[in-house]
Every structure is written in structure tokens, then in C-alpha cells.
Structure 1
């Protein structure tokens, strides 16, 4: 199944692009994900844990940076893994495309082509889309925070010349803390997805959006 999500980051495109290419930074913002080994500059091994209601999915697998276009700001990651306690498998091709916005900042479009078997296959497309949207939102918030932290840390570095005249240095704002994606409650995801499914049902039934 193909799932598309988008989000905006209030930072220059080159800054966001540099961050997106660093998988060790990106994985910090992915709920339930962790790297276990760096093979080389474009290949990694990792784990992914996701809970949805009573079902806990634990995958171990590999990630590859299959394509990278610095001019178009487009990167393709391919991931595949097997359930550690089951016969299920999952694979995903994730294409991220960055575009500069007229008002400043960067728009990130993410297309995920996902294939699953085993326990994960029991979930409907609608539920998978809802879960993906919620995880993407959390990823985006983490990404925005950590990019702003990097910028604040860079601004907080005192130039060498200031050492000779410390009185000339203006007080700087405290540097905010980096963020890590927290595991998402399976029950909260399940109820969130259920609520979205009910809203879609009534929207189709009455032909209007239900708040």
C-alpha cells in the first residue's frame, strides 16, 4: 500500500536536507526505531517496535539509502525486516522530497510504499494510514525541535574575539533541549485510528466533515 504524508519545517531547505541525510539523527525522531549497526555510509541495521492495541510488533532488519539527488533534494530509503517473534515480514520504500516555500521554510513530502505479512497484515488500509499520519506528525515535531536546537547551539558559540572583551558579548537565550521520539501508546493509536475511521464513515454517509 502507498501512504502519503506532508509536513513543513521552519528552516532553510539546505539545513533540513543535511539533517534528513543523517540517518543517525533521523532515527532518533522515529517512534520505536533504533539503529543497531552502521555497515557503511548508506547501509544500516536496526530494530522497530510498534504496539497497536493488544498486538506488539517487533522487527529486526536493514535500511539502505537507495537513491540520493542533492539537486532535487530527493532521497529514497529502503527498509526490510522480519518479526522477531513470528513469521511476519515488512518492507518499505520511503521517498522524501523537499521543496523551499515562498514564505521561507521547507515542505517535506513523504511517500511510503509498504508491504506487510503476518500480524501486521490484519490491519486495514485506513487504520495504517491513520497510524502513519500520527507517527509522521510526531516525527515532524521532533525534527523541527532538533533542527532549531542545532541552530541555537551554533548561535551560542562565543567567537574567539569575545574572549578578549567579554563585556562586549550580549547575553544569549538558553539553548533548548533536543527531543527524542517517545514510544506511542498502542491503545492511544488504536482509539485514534478508530475515531478517524468513524469520522470517515459519517463523512461518506452525510457528505460532510464531522468534527
Structure 2
């Protein structure tokens, strides 16, 4: 399954790129994600907590940055994980690209996913759930980059020799908690019902 998402940030590409180099900060933006260990060599171990009604899945796995191109502002990541109870697995190939935009920067994320087990039973709905999850991730990412300054983030040199300095705000108290998939599915379903009723009212409306 291939998914594509985009968000814009009111900051220069160099500033956004600097933030993306801080892996723990980026992971903190992901709903349900927890960084367990830095294995070195751009390899990491982590857990993804997902709750679907009464079902709870905890995917334990590893991720590796296979490409980090500072000149092109591009990161490519391979990741894989398996549910602790053996109910399925996830493999992902993710490409993150930062580019200039009218508002400052545009972040494009393209993911190729291979799902098995209970998570795969969502079928086509996983695309809608993914869109909702990315929206939460993008909101937190933008908030940290554009938000108030608290904890300094390590600076990184830009291609032109200047230094782009980012500031990291404190992590929200509820960050890193499990992904509540059921509310996301309900939000998507409710919108679809509303769209259907609106189309139906147009059809039956008298001339």
C-alpha cells in the first residue's frame, strides 16, 4: 500500500531540515510512537502502541535511515515491526522530502507499507486512518517548529555555510500514548455519512 501526505511549515527548509535531524524529537511528534534505543549508525529501536476498541497492539521493531541527503533535504527510512502477541507485522519504506513553499517549507512524506494480521483487516480504511494519524503528526511537528521556545535544539550547518538554529518546546504530557484508532475510524465514518446525506438531499430536492 502506497500513501502520500503533505504539510506546510512557516519556517525555512534549512530550519525544518535541522529539526528533522533530531530523531527523538521527531518520534515524539508521532502518536503512539516510543523510541526505545539508539543503536548507532542511524539505526533505532522502538515501539508503536495502537488501540482498536478492546484490541491493543504493540509493534516492536527497528528503523534505519538508509539515505540522508542534506543538499536535497531528503531522508529515506526503512522500518519493520511485529506485534508482541504475534498478531501481525508492519514493514515500511518512507521517503521524506523538504522543499521551499510560499509559506516557508513543504514536507512531503511517501510511504510504502506491507501489513499483515489484525492491522491489515482494516482494509481500505487504513488509508483514511493513516490520513488522520498524519494530521496529528503534522500538527505536532508544526507546533514544535513554529511554537514557543523552551529547550534548545542542536544547531546544524546549512549548505551555504550559515547555521540554522532550531528551538524545541517541551513535550506534551500525553505525547507517546497509544494511537486510538477507533475514534479516528469513527471520525472518518461520520464524515462519510454526512457527505452521503448531503448528496442524497440534493437528489430528492424538488425543482
- Aligned CA distance change for structure 1 residues 96 and 196 (closer, same or farther; 3 Å): farther
- Which has the larger share of strand? 2
> Are 2:149 and 2:169, in contact at CA under 8 Å, matched by a contact in 1?
no
Among 166, 170, 177, the residue aligned to 1:178: 170
Residue aligning to 2:111: 112
Residue aligning to 1:190: 185
1:67-94 Cα offsets, whole Å, 9 max, x none, are 1111111111111011101241111111
Q: How many angstroms apart in 2 are the aligned matches of 1:71 and 1:199?
A: 45
- Aligned CA distance change for structure 1 residues 18 and 203 (closer, same or farther; 3 Å): farther
Residue aligning to 1:121: 120
Q: How many angstroms apart in 1 are the aligned matches of 2:129 and 2:14?
A: 29
Larger radius of gyration: 1
Residue aligning to 2:100: 100
Residue aligning to 1:53: 53
Residue aligning to 1:10: 10
RMSD of aligned Cα (Å): 2.8
CA drift of 1:176 comes to 9.7
2:11 counterpart SS class: coil
Tell me, yes or no, if structure 1 residue 85 matches structure 2 residue 85. Answer: yes
Q: How many angstroms apart in 2 are the aligned matches of 1:27 and 1:61?
A: 14
TM-score by length of 2: 0.78
Q: How many angstroms apart in 2 are the aligned matches of 1:186 and 1:32?
A: 10
Q: How many angstroms apart in 2 are the aligned matches of 1:200 and 1:2?
A: 25
> Are 1:145 and 1:179, in contact at CA under 8 Å, matched by a contact in 2?
no
Among 132, 137, 143, the residue aligned to 2:135: 137
> Are 2:63 and 2:78, in contact at CA under 8 Å, matched by a contact in 1?
yes
> Are 1:90 and 1:117, in contact at CA under 8 Å, matched by a contact in 2?
yes
Residue aligning to 1:63: 63
TM-score by length of 1: 0.77
- Aligned CA distance change for structure 1 residues 176 and 145 (closer, same or farther; 3 Å): same
> Are 2:37 and 2:44, in contact at CA under 8 Å, matched by a contact in 1?
yes
> Are 1:52 and 1:190, in contact at CA under 8 Å, matched by a contact in 2?
no
CA drift of 1:6 comes to 0.6
CA drift of 1:21 comes to 2.3
1:93-146 Cα offsets, whole Å, 9 max, x none, are 111111111x34111111111111111110122x11111111111111111221
CA drift of 1:66 comes to 0.9
CA drift of 1:27 comes to 0.3
| Number of residues of Structure 1 aligned to a counterpart in Structure 2 | 186
1:33-68 Cα offsets, whole Å, 9 max, x none, are 111111104101000011223332210010100111
**Unaligned stretches of 5+ in structure 1?**
155-174
